[in-house]
Structure 1
Amino acid sequence: MAGLATPMALRVAVTLGLPDRLLSDSVAADQLAAELNVSPIALDLLLRHLTTLGVMQQTSTGYRTTEFGANLCADAGNGLTNMLLHMDSAGGRAELSFVELAHSIATGQAAYPRRYGKDFYDDIAEHPRLRESFDRQMTLRLRMQVPRIVAGFDWSRFSTVVDVGGGVGTLLAAILTAHPGMHGHLVDLEATAADARHTFSAHNLDERTEVTAGSFFDPLPAGADAYLLSDILHNWDDEHAHRILARCVEAARPTGRVLVIETVGGLGAKSEFDLSMLVLYGGRERRIDEFRTLAATHGLVLDTVTTLTHERSLLEFQLAGQ
């Protein structure tokens, strides 16, 4: 359980592109090392361990990817490559912050800045490839659950929804497609917002959508019926979560609702993912009572909790006195 050899071997294999390179034909370790400009002896050690894991198999002419190992190929469609690449992938790079877990436990703060010198969001903002991989990661995380999220809640109650930090627009596009009478407004940083515009165009939603490039720490578009925060608050400590909720309430007054979709502590949250939120962002998967306390500061009252999937729930808040 404590060994690091296997998880790091898988990450290096994916980063070097070994599963894809060895999928169709068997290649000797020294030939492959020359192609990749790596040590032939060290590469052979890696390939032997991957063979032990069942990811590779040894043949008379070298190594090749097994059927099991093909799950690590770039086109496998399971998101693993995007999570394991530790050079050009936001997820893979972020996972390496776990070597600083002791710092997070001691301080309650994110380990990412300690390892990389800046927080996660500043880092991906400066590196377009990281930002793009993060957007892909978020899309993949939601993709299988979007139909149930759309079907599991009565979105038609709202004529206008602002998706705060809505990424490339996958969820909002699905909601609007299912409810032709609704209009949506997505807010995210410039590069991601540009991708959201493409998403809406691809779904023929240009007439019913608006996209604003900006931060959820800045004033939000006012007057919508609902403000949606999907997988947002768990990425932030209480100080920043308060700032985000304050912007939502400021824009939602006097009758708008605030909708929070997240993995809720005690309702599907996994302890491993809780630690990930801490190490990456200084956040956590809050429990219902923690959400109530957080929201009460802003005059928000928890109205309903709806289980959407095995991972995510929707918490609907209304302004006190509504």
Structure 2
Amino acid sequence: MSGLITPMALRVAVTLGLPDRLRDNPATAQELASELKVDPLALDLLLAHLTTLGVAELTDAGYRTTDFGALLGAGAGNGLNNLLHHDSAAGRADLAFIDLIHSVRTGEPAYPVRYGQDFWTDLTEQPHLREAFDQQMNNRMSGWIPQVVENFDWSRFGTLVDVGGGHGSLLAAILAANPDMRGHLVDLEDSAAGARELFRERGLEGRTEVTGGSFFDPLPTGDACLLFDILHDWDDEQAHRILARCAEAGQRVLVVESLGESTEFDLVMLVHFGGRDRGLHDFERLASAHGLRLESVTQVTGGRSLLEFTR
């Protein structure tokens, strides 16, 4: 329970690209050190521990990635590489847990303590972090989208405004399953550009609009505004601002969140953003300040519920 060695060894291995580099081309620590511009003795110590973990194995030609270790590769399809890499959005943010004590003492995120500015500013200023974050969200959503589309009646809405909808994979799936609907996605411009491309690829450009902008600004109008995993990123003050914009834009607000079911995830939200998962009554309290009344609760995935609020 006290060991940080193995988690950090795995993160460093991913950041150096070792799982991919050694998959089919074994090498000694000395050979790799020159290639990666790291210390050969220190690298040998790291590789020895990765061998103990079963991530690598020592052969006559040097260290080689095992089948198990290949799960950490960039192309493994499980999202782990993106989550562990020091220079991805999630991997970078998780390193702020070293300052968890700051968050517990103050209730504020630890991310700015480590990096000098908040998570979202970092994403704005460093496009590769925004790209990694969008990929992380796409990886997370891929398994949920069929359930979300199937487990709720979306056809009741003529126009759905997906607020903070990323690259648009969820909205595209909803529209594909409901041909009479239209969609309007709102996200920061880098993500919005990805959504426009996805809608073109899927032949949905005639039924969609995309606005590059912040959900703290006035939103386009529609029959319903969808907030999928948005509010848990923010403290109550900012959550009120987002809900106020949604209440202005539509008669209904659809909030999809986990209802406080993971203590671990709560701490992630706190350290990264100063946010948290909330319970049902917390959402009702937030929404009521904007004239929104809870109409129904629908479980749409194993860990997510859709709360439908009516203005």
Whether these two folds match at TM > 0.5 is: yes
Count of aligned positions? 311
Question: Where does residue 198 of structure 2 map in the other structure?
Answer: 199
Q: CA deviation at 1:60?
A: 2.1
Distance, in Å, in 2 between the alignment partners of 1:251 and 1:145 is 26
Q: CA deviation at 1:310?
A: 1.3
- CA offsets per residue over residues 231-277 of structure 1, 9 Å max, x none? 1000000000000000000112xxx2100111111xxx211111000
Question: Where does residue 273 of structure 1 map in the other structure?
Answer: 265
The runs of 5 or more residues in structure 1 that have no matched partner are none
The runs of 5 or more residues in structure 2 that have no matched partner are none
Query: Which residue identity lines up with residue 257 of structure 1 in the other structure?
Result: R
Question: Where does residue 41 of structure 1 map in the other structure?
Answer: 41
Q: CA deviation at 1:105?
A: 0.5
Computed over aligned residues only, the root mean square deviation of the Cα atoms, in angstroms, reads: 0.7
Please state whether the residue corresponding to 1:309 is helix, strand or coil. coil
Question: Where does residue 212 of structure 1 map in the other structure?
Answer: 211
Question: Where does residue 73 of structure 1 map in the other structure?
Answer: 73
1:225 is aligned, of 223, 226, 248, to: 223
Distance, in Å, in 2 between the alignment partners of 1:231 and 1:315 is 12
Question: Where does residue 280 of structure 2 map in the other structure?
Answer: 288
1:306 is aligned, of 282, 298, 301, to: 298
Q: CA deviation at 1:61?
A: 2.3
Q: CA deviation at 1:39?
A: 0.6
Question: Where does residue 112 of structure 2 map in the other structure?
Answer: 113
Distance, in Å, in 2 between the alignment partners of 1:210 and 1:26 is 50
- The answer on 1:243 being equivalent to 2:241 is yes
Report matched runs for 1:1-322 at 5 Å. 1-87=1-87, 89-222=88-221, 224-252=222-250, 256-265=251-260, 269-319=261-311
Distance, in Å, in 1 between the alignment partners of 2:2 and 2:291 is 45
Q: CA deviation at 1:309?
A: 1.1
Q: CA deviation at 1:191?
A: 1.1
TM-score normalised by structure 2 residue count: 0.99
Distance, in Å, in 2 between the alignment partners of 1:164 and 1:46 is 44
Distance, in Å, in 2 between the alignment partners of 1:115 and 1:131 is 18
